[in-house]
Amino acid sequence: MRDAAYIRLPPTLRACATLLVLSFPVLAGCHYDIRFEDIGYSIGQKQYDAGLVAVIAPYTVGQVVSIHSFSTGIANTWDARPGVMLQQIAEVEFPQMFRYYKTATQHEEPEQGVTRLTVDLSISHYAFSDFHTTVVVQARAYRPGRSLAFDKSYREEGEGQGGKMVMGGAFGMKSAVRQSSFDAYKTVFARLRADLANMLEMPPP
């Protein structure tokens, strides 16, 4: 068997080759999908004998916002799914507030409940920058007969997550986006639930 032949590179070229090999994962980059995982919590609010249909269109659920960061590898991409996050929070919070709750992809009215409401939810803005999330949720609430009760934008910012990004690298970045988004969405829904509660506790016009 013939001996394998090796080419001996000059020290400078060897150093360059080593640097190229080590940096290849950074140059190639990775994709990370971001949505909430295993969330479940109490909103600490009474449940109304009311019905709610939350309408979230397929377009909203399918939204993807790609995020890049120099501090955790500019070649990496974190694909945040704000519409999926919106849906996940709604499915945790609304059933605790409304005895009769369901989701829909187009306008629909509840079939049960002393008071019956439909709320159309969408994302008008979502971004992660300066170590935190900013989200704007548009909510249109309707009484039966598609009578518009309110049309409001809820803008909130999540807590800054710079420490996770600096210390955790790529995986820290995923956790940072998820946690800051969670903070922002929970604050949005606290305000939205307060507005819906006002509707439930006042007589219809």
Q: In this structure, what CATH number is given to the domain that contains residue 132?
A: 3.40.50
CB distance 77 to 32 below 8 Å: yes
Token pair for 202: 């006042």
Domain assignment present for residue 23? The answer is: no
pTM of the shown model? 0.79
Select from 123, 158, 152, 156 the least CA-distant residue to 139.
Answer: 152
Domain assignment present for residue 164? The answer is: yes
Query: Looking at the 3D structure of the chain, how many domains does it have?
Result: 1
Distance CA 129, CA 69 (A): 9
Query: What is residue 9's predicted lDDT score, i.e. its pLDDT?
Result: 45
- Please name the amino acid found at residue 39: I
Query: What is residue 171's predicted lDDT score, i.e. its pLDDT?
Result: 56
Query: What is residue 162's predicted lDDT score, i.e. its pLDDT?
Result: 52
pLDDT tens over the chain, length 205 residues: 444 333 344 555 444 344 333 444 444 568 778 999 989 999 999 999 999 999 999 999 999 999 876 554 556 788 999 999 999 999 999 999 999 999 999 999 999 999 999 999 999 999 998 878 999 999 999 999 999 999 999 999 988 655 455 454 555 678 889 999 999 999 999 999 999 999 999 866 6
Distance CA 176, CA 168 (A): 9
Domain assignment present for residue 100? The answer is: yes
Query: What is residue 174's predicted lDDT score, i.e. its pLDDT?
Result: 83
For 130-166, give the DSSP string: TTEEEEEEEEEEEETTTEEEEEEEEEEEPPP-HHHHH
90: containing domain: 29-200
Query: What is residue 169's predicted lDDT score, i.e. its pLDDT?
Result: 52
Domain assignment present for residue 9? The answer is: no
Domain assignment present for residue 13? The answer is: no
The pairing of beta strand 65-67 with beta strand 77-80: antiparallel
Domain assignment present for residue 135? The answer is: yes
Token pair for 165: 């990004």
Distance CA 72, CA 84 (A): 24
- CB count within 10 Å of CB 99 equals 15
The pairing of beta strand 132-143 with beta strand 147-157: antiparallel
Domain assignment present for residue 11? The answer is: no
Q: Give every CB contact of residue 60 below 8 A, 6+ residues apart in sequence.
A: 83, 86, 121, 122, 123
Backbone angles phi, psi at 187, to 5 degrees: -70, -40
Query: What is residue 148's predicted lDDT score, i.e. its pLDDT?
Result: 97
The Cβ-side half-sphere exposure at 44, using a 13 Å CA radius, reads 2
- Please name the amino acid found at residue 97: M
Query: What is residue 202's predicted lDDT score, i.e. its pLDDT?
Result: 82
User: In terms of C-beta density within 10 A (0-12 exposed, 13-18 middle, 19 or more buried), how is residue 149 classed?
Assistant: middle
